Amino acid sequence: MQISGAQMVIEAFIAEGVDTVFGYPGGAIMNVYDEIYKQDKFQHILNRHEQASVHAAEGYAKASGKVGVAMITSGPGFTNAVTGLADAYMDSIPLVVVSGQVPMSLIGTDAFQEIDAVGISRPCTKHNYLVTDANDLARVLKEAFYIARSGRPGPVHVDIPKDVTAQIAEFDYSKPVDLETYKPHTKGSTRQIKKAMEAIANSKRPLFYLGGGIINSNAAYEVRDLIHRTGIPAVETFMARGTLSHDDKYLISMLGMHGSYAANMAMSETDMVIALGARFDDRVTGKLSEFAKNAGVIHVDIDPASISKLVNADFPIVGDVKNVVEEMLELADTINPDHYESWRETINNFDELHPLAFHEDSERLKPQWVVKRVGELLGDNANISTDVGQHQMWAAQFYPFTRPRQFISSGGLGTMGFGFPAAMGVKAASPEKTSINFTGDGSILMNVQELMTAVEKKLPVINIILNNNFLGMVRQWQTLFYDKRHSETDLSVQPDFVKLSEAFGGIGYRVHTKEEFDAALKDAVEKNVVAFIEVLVERFENVMPMVPAGGSLFNMMLLEKKKETK
Amino acid sequence: MTENSERRVISVIVVNEASVLSRITDLFSGRGYNITSLTVAPIPDSKYSRLTIVTSGSVRVIEQITKQLHKLIPVLRVYEHCDLVEKEMALVKFPITENISDINSLCDAYNGKIVDIGDDMIIGMVTDEPKRVENFLSAIKKYNPKEIVRSGAVALER
Ligand SMILES: Cc1cc2nc3c(=O)[nH]c(=O)nc-3n(C[C@H](O)[C@H](O)[C@H](O)COP(=O)(O)OP(=O)(O)OC[C@H]3O[C@@H](n4cnc5c(N)ncnc54)[C@H](O)[C@@H]3O)c2cc1C
Ligand SMILES: Cc1ncc(C[n+]2csc(CCOP(=O)(O)OP(=O)(O)O)c2C)c(N)n1
Ligand SMILES: [Mg+2]
């Protein structure tokens, strides 16, 4: 088939089953936009900033498990998108991002809107391409989708000069991908798995350390099975929330800097860590030399570079979590759940000593209450996105997650401005669920222009702004570690969030009380248009527990016990 | 953690395509790894090139370097050498006024010779183990070398 480079992009998307593309046009990508205009196989969502396009594609990818797709123009269009690429790279999110580039004849001449896009995207993508001949385009696009979704997923960037999108060439998408140099290892070594299962059987206080790789691998239900059959308790990373249901009796909670006391103590006392698709991030481990100090380590990861990067693995298993856990399940009978009775008891005692909790206040709503309340009212019916800050941690701590892909948040890069566009992508992927974005008064302004996109495309995201008039997370550190010098974190000067939403055609609520909150949420769900629910919450609330940066997991700052008032 | 840094030679076989070299050097700079020397040339009759990288780091760092290199899509193979033959070349320019026969015998001792004599300078060449090339370079200091160029190491597993 002889077609133009621009048509090839469209044909490749259709062949890949793409149903939604997020993007923003401009000179260098116009040939492709012209072809988008002519087709009706997929929808294009025009965001109002390229960063939002990429975050929306991330949200879409995380909620659906498919590859997210974004399209942007050269120069400033591309540089605006870089934060999204970096975010997807850190959180292993499969994306294909296509950018226009100046024509080949102008590359290297400082042409209008020319920037070395592949030079910039190289360190923040899994792979990238500058396509110099339309005859390569079918192969490159097919490789791009394959690389994005296989192995450890990640973003792939394809930069296409304008003359290449105009060039007529042969297009054959049927050739299978043949990459001699890229063959992800998906099946774990059976011998090693057997040895690991023996080590577990011989341990006294084993602990599952569940990571985001389980979600990537669609292995949550197999993992649940393994945990229930072995009776071994589990902690989840931030990225793994929803792997186990919140009410699972083997789930301790999230661990790490803002993990629960019981989760962090369990990790400190375990004698066998079973890490499944987790990467020993510094927010999780705290001081490395004290992390799970007396434990053996079984580490299952599809990326060999994750294994023994920070913590030495005694039983390294390179493979897809799903395959490995399936093999582990075959050996699950070798493990006796009764063995761990007293270990589970110990952990329950930790939890009773310092449960994840907060103190209610009669004057001001507590942000944690808001998260819990949304959980009570919407529970499994909502997908939860967040921005970055204190509200993000409270969402991770207090929302009653019931399933994988329910929680979508920027973990590795911690990108303020992620939540709203991501929640739109989530809504596009999963329209039957309510799409909630827990956000802060700081973060929401970092992609607030997306109100327009949400109104136009009828993506009724409910943004719950936990308004503390602060860049709260930074303020918390200043309070605790900088002697209360709240440098440039006071957000007392604010827009009228209700009017702001209304100005774009959305709806808005300002909420002071529990009753008002319930009414607002109910109304927003019914009205089914994009909403801001601004909740005025306690300004000086801190996220607790907290392991100070570089501290050991077992040295947590804890919620102060409330003085008994009679 | 006191982990000793040691010198290592790593060979990388990569698809011979645009930007592959920057993928590799970016990886080293981005992750804070050292490059002592780097050589690259196409492998005859193939679509691959071979890079020889001399680096240094703790055992853990070297392990990460090889894994991270392997993760790059166009990388076919990564060898971290233990038992290898390693050679490096150096060219040195001397003023013609220096003692030619001294220089010639020195070059000779390090598998080399004088390769060019001009009106006002001579050029000596040596090919030897990198350590020995270093010895040579310190031995010739007193002959006022004007310019020195080293090729970086190339290596083959025994
Ligand atoms: C303000 C703030 C505070 C934070 N505090 C915490 C905290 O207290 N606790 C916490 O846990 N996090 C916290 N985070 C998040 C943290 O930064 C990391 O993003 C997170 O801990 C990483 O989770 P993970 O280890 O599950 O890895 P991910 O980033 O999800 O990585 C997944 C791992 O699984 C592997 N993998 C991928 N696919 C597969 C597959 N198919 N099969 C096998 N392996 C696979 C990958 O190679 C990788 O090693 C915080 C973030 C912010 C912004
Ligand atoms: C783009 C970006 N800039 C800066 C930061 C640093 N940062 C982390 S949390 C935070 C405060 C966020 O404030 P807000 O959105 O109001 O959330 P809160 O912590 O108050 O809940 C800041 C500035 C960041 N993570 N991302
Ligand atoms: Mg705030």
Are B66 and B93 part of one and the same domain? no
What are A34-47's pLDDT values in tens digits? 999 999 999 999 99
Are B69 and B118 part of one and the same domain? no
Are B78 and B111 part of one and the same domain? no
Are A384 and A524 part of one and the same domain? yes
3-state secondary structure of A483: coil
Are A302 and A337 part of one and the same domain? yes
Q: Is A526 a catalytic residue?
A: no
For testing contact with chain A, the best of B27, B67, B68, B75 (most A CBs within 10 A): B67
Are A85 and A120 part of one and the same domain? yes
From the list A473, A544, A546, A556, the catalytic residue is A473
Name the pLDDT band for A174 (thresholds 50, 70, 90): very high
Are A9 and A139 part of one and the same domain? yes
What are A220-275's pLDDT values in tens digits? 999 999 999 999 999 999 999 999 999 999 999 999 999 999 999 999 999 999 99
Integer Cα distance of A199 and A335 in angstroms = 10
Average of per-residue pLDDT across B56-64: 94
Which of B52, B82, B112 finishes a domain? B82
What are A46-88's pLDDT values in tens digits? 999 999 999 999 999 999 999 999 999 999 999 999 999 999 9
Are B10 and B35 part of one and the same domain? yes
For residue B91, the domain's CATH number is: 3.30.70.1150
Cβ–Cβ below 8 Å for A123 and B67: no
Q: Is A162 a catalytic residue?
A: yes
Do strands A382-386 and A434-440 pair parallel, antiparallel, or not at all (unpaired)? parallel
pLDDT of residue B4: 82
Query: Among all residues of chain B, which has the CA nearest to that of A308?
Result: B60
- A472: pLDDT strictly greater than 60: yes
Angstrom CA distances, A26 to A31, A274, B55, stand at 10, 49, 44
Average of per-residue pLDDT across A378-383: 98
Question: For chain B, what is the mean pLDDT?
Answer: 94
Q: Does A126 touch chain B (CB under 8 A)?
A: yes
Are A204 and A255 part of one and the same domain? yes
Residue A525 lies in a domain: yes
Are B61 and B90 part of one and the same domain? no
- Residue B144: count of CB within 10 angstroms of its CB: 11
Which of A170, A198, A215 finishes a domain? A170
- B2: pLDDT strictly greater than 80: no
Are A249 and A136 part of one and the same domain? no
Are A201 and A152 part of one and the same domain? no
Higher pLDDT, B81 or A486: A486
pLDDT of residue B82: 82
Partnered with residue A386 across adjacent β-strands are A438
Average of per-residue pLDDT across A343-363: 95
B19 → closest Cβ in A118, A181, A305: A118
φ/ψ of B21, rounded to 5, equals -65, -40
Query: Among all residues of chain B, which has the CA nearest to that of A289?
Result: B1
Residue B53 lies in a domain: yes
| Residue indicated by tokens 């001449």 | A109
Higher pLDDT, A501 or B18: A501
> In chain B, how long is the greatest CA-to-CA distance?
57
Integer Cα distance of A565 and A67 in angstroms = 55
Question: For chain A, what is the mean pLDDT?
Answer: 97
The boundaries of the domain holding residue A404 are 358-544
What are A110-121's pLDDT values in tens digits? 999 999 999 999
State the total domains in chain B.
2
Are A17 and A104 part of one and the same domain? yes
Average of per-residue pLDDT across B14-39: 95
For residue B72, the domain's CATH number is: 3.30.70.260
Name the pLDDT band for B81 (thresholds 50, 70, 90): confident
Q: Is A473 a catalytic residue?
A: yes
Residue A553 lies in a domain: no
Residue B1 lies in a domain: no
Are A240 and A207 part of one and the same domain? yes
Name the pLDDT band for A432 (thresholds 50, 70, 90): very high
Are B153 and B94 part of one and the same domain? yes
Are A34 and A131 part of one and the same domain? yes
Partnered with residue B9 across adjacent β-strands are B54
Q: Does A309 touch chain B (CB under 8 A)?
A: yes
The boundaries of the domain holding residue B38 are 6-82
For residue A533, the domain's CATH number is: 3.40.50.970
Name the pLDDT band for B3 (thresholds 50, 70, 90): low
The pair of structure tokens assigned to B113 is 């010779």
Residue B144 lies in a domain: yes
What amino acid occupies position A306? S
Are A101 and A27 part of one and the same domain? yes
A309 → closest Cβ in B15, B23, B64: B64
State the total domains in chain A.
3
Are B90 and B68 part of one and the same domain? no
What are A291-314's pLDDT values in tens digits? 999 999 999 999 999 999 999 999
Which of A353, A369, A389 finishes a domain? A353
Which of B64, B82, B100 finishes a domain? B82
Are B146 and B129 part of one and the same domain? yes
Cβ–Cβ below 8 Å for B1 and A303: no
Are A231 and A284 part of one and the same domain? yes
Roughly what angle, to the nearest 10 degrees, separates helices A367-377 and A390-398? 40
- The model's pTM is 0.97
pLDDT of residue A565: 47
- A566: pLDDT strictly greater than 70: no
| Residue indicated by tokens 């004849």 | A105
Residue A49: DSSP 8-state: S
Higher pLDDT, A362 or A288: A288
pLDDT of residue A563: 58
Cβ A441 under 6 angstroms from ligand 2: yes
Name the pLDDT band for B43 (thresholds 50, 70, 90): very high
Q: Does A303 touch chain B (CB under 8 A)?
A: yes
Cβ–Cβ below 8 Å for B68 and A305: yes
What are A515-552's pLDDT values in tens digits? 999 999 999 999 999 999 999 999 999 999 999 999 99
Ligand 2: centre distance to CA A38 (Å): 41
Which of B82, B114, B136 finishes a domain? B82
Angstrom CA distances, A272 to A199, A243, A293, A334, A338, stand at 8, 20, 10, 16, 17
Do strands A20-23 and A43-46 pair parallel, antiparallel, or not at all (unpaired)? parallel
Residue A371 lies in a domain: yes
**Segments of chain B assigned E as strands:** 6-15, 37-42, 48-57, 75-80, 84-95, 113-117, 121-128, 147-150, 154-157
Are B16 and B70 part of one and the same domain? yes
